Amino acid sequence: MEPEDLEELYAIENDRSIWNVGSTNVPYSRYVLHEYIANATNDIYADKQLRLIIDVNGEHVAGIVDLFNYNPRHSRAEVGVVVKVSFRNRGIATKALEELHRYAADVLGIFQLYAVVAQSNKHTQKLFGKLGYESTATLKQWLSSYDGYQDAILLQKKIKK
């Protein structure tokens, strides 16, 4: 992330329509996000997470792809992706995740990635399924939403042999 990504990050993080698919349920101030960008080391070993901006042709921020909950002992990390509405249905999430897989396996040496996806989020389940993630468990009443709790699907993919 670069300082000039602040406004895009602010818009994405404060988009209430996607709060139900992540762990955020409060808005972030520009100051907090500015400090996050300024202080992030971009070192997954230090931060236990890596947040990357999805850039289209060096001109437009299309979204964010994340590795988080990194566990070096077990060589795994959780993965998340958000693509802005105006950039959806163009294969951008697929390309971003494929690049993330290569980087995580070849550079970081991560063995396995996983995602926790709401059972009702069929679009994201299809995306991860297309990339070789397998559904390995149902997590009962795992995610809190406006309507109460909902089940989630644990999706896993070995990225390093």
pLDDT tens, 43-71? Answer: 888 888 898 989 887 778 899 999 999 99
Taking only the tens place, the pLDDT of each residue in 118-159 is 999 999 999 999 999 999 999 999 888 777 898 999 999 999
Task: Read off φ and ψ for residue 4, nearest 5 degrees.
Answer: -70, -5
Q: Helix, strand or coil for residue 26?
A: coil
Q: Helix, strand or coil for residue 72?
A: coil
Cβ atoms of residues 131 and 117 within 8 Å: no
Distance between CA atoms of residues 75 and 84, nearest Å: 30
**Res. 85: pLDDT tops 90:** no
Question: According to the model, what pLDDT value does residue 20 have?
Answer: 58
Give long-range contacts, CB 8 A cutoff, 24+ apart: 103-111: 104/67, 104/77, 104/159, 105/159, 105/160, 108/44, 108/67, 109/75, 109/160, 110/67, 110/70, 110/75, 110/76, 110/77, 110/159, 110/160, 111/74, 111/75, 111/76, 111/158, 111/159, 111/160
Distance between CA atoms of residues 97 and 62, nearest Å: 13
Cβ atoms of residues 51 and 1 within 8 Å: yes
